[in-house]
């Protein structure tokens, strides 16, 4: 990885999006606390944020799974036990952000293929929706309520997906 890439600073909104989607909103205070600091003891984090140490560690490990934070384990010379010192990997955020949008884009594209390659039938009471072959099996009668199923006009869904794909493509390019 080049030095130039590492210097890309994520916006606050970008960080929030990544942390919230990958770990959860509850992880934001820890990320905010670590921001701009280096090698912070997990006990300090817990104390400053008034969290239980186990709760703090659980969140940190979740963040670690996604490389949002990293740690250094050192033996405390006085107490004799190991303490983890944590860093927020701010430079990872833009990459993770891009990855998140790429995954969404893949899903949307898959859905679009699905929507445009099949004809869907839907019950008038909206209890079931299925493709042509499946509806044939049920003789075009809803398996839930027995109502006749009608071919669904999915052009709005297709339009929605196309728009969303266009937006996401801008974000990942
Ligand atoms: Zn029905």
> pLDDT tens, 138-154?
999 999 999 999 998 88
Cα(127) to centroid of ligand 1, in Å?
4
- Per the CB < 8 A criterion, the answer to whether 28 and 20 are in contact is yes
> pTM (2 decimals)?
0.73
Cα(130) to centroid of ligand 1, in Å?
11
For residue range 58-82, list pLDDT tens digits in order: 999 999 999 999 999 999 888 888 9
How far is the C-alpha of 67 from the C-alpha of 19, rounded, in Å? Answer: 11
Cα(116) to centroid of ligand 1, in Å?
23
How far is the C-alpha of 69 from the C-alpha of 61, rounded, in Å? Answer: 8
Residue reference for tokens 């044939």: 136
Helix (H) or strand (E) holding 87: strand 82-88
What percentage of the chain reaches a pLDDT higher than 70? 95
Cα(154) to centroid of ligand 1, in Å?
18
Cα(147) to centroid of ligand 1, in Å?
5
Mean pLDDT of 125-148: 93
| Rg (alpha carbons) of the chain, rounded to whole number | 24
pLDDT for residue 171 is more than 70: yes
Contacts with 47 (C-beta within 8 Å, 6 or more apart), sequence order: none
Tell me which architecture the domain covering 3-94 has in CATH: Orthogonal Bundle (1.10)
Cα(120) to centroid of ligand 1, in Å?
14
For residue range 97-125, list pLDDT tens digits in order: 999 999 999 999 999 998 898 889 999 89
Cα(141) to centroid of ligand 1, in Å?
8
Cα(148) to centroid of ligand 1, in Å?
8
Mean pLDDT of 50-57: 97
Neighbours of 61 (CB within 10 A): 13
- 7: pLDDT confidence band, cut at 50, 70 and 90? low
Identify the CA nearest to 65 among candidates 7, 24, 12: 24
What is the location of CATH 1.10.10.10 in the chain? 3-94
């Amino acid at each position: 990885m080049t030095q130039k890439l590492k210097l890309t600073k994520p916006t606050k909104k970008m960080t929030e999006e990544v942390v919230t989607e990958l770990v959860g909103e509850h992880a934001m205070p820890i990320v905010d606390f670590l921001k701009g600091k280096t090698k912070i003891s997990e006990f300090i984090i817990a104390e400053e944020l008034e969290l239980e140490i186990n709760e703090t560690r659980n969140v940190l490990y979740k963040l670690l799974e996604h490389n949002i934070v990293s740690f250094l384990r050192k033996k405390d010379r006085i107490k004799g036990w190991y303490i983890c010192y944590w860093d927020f990997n701010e430079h990872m955020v833009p990459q993770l952000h891009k990855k998140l949008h790429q995954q969404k884009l893949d899903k949307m594209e898959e859905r679009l293929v699905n929507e445009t390659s099949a004809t869907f039938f839907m019950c008038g009471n909206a209890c079931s929706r299925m493709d042509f072959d499946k509806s044939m099996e049920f003789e075009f009668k809803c398996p839930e309520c027995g109502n006749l199923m009608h071919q669904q006009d999915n052009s709005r869904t297709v339009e929605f997906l196309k728009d969303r794909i266009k937006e996401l493509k801008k974000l990942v390019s």
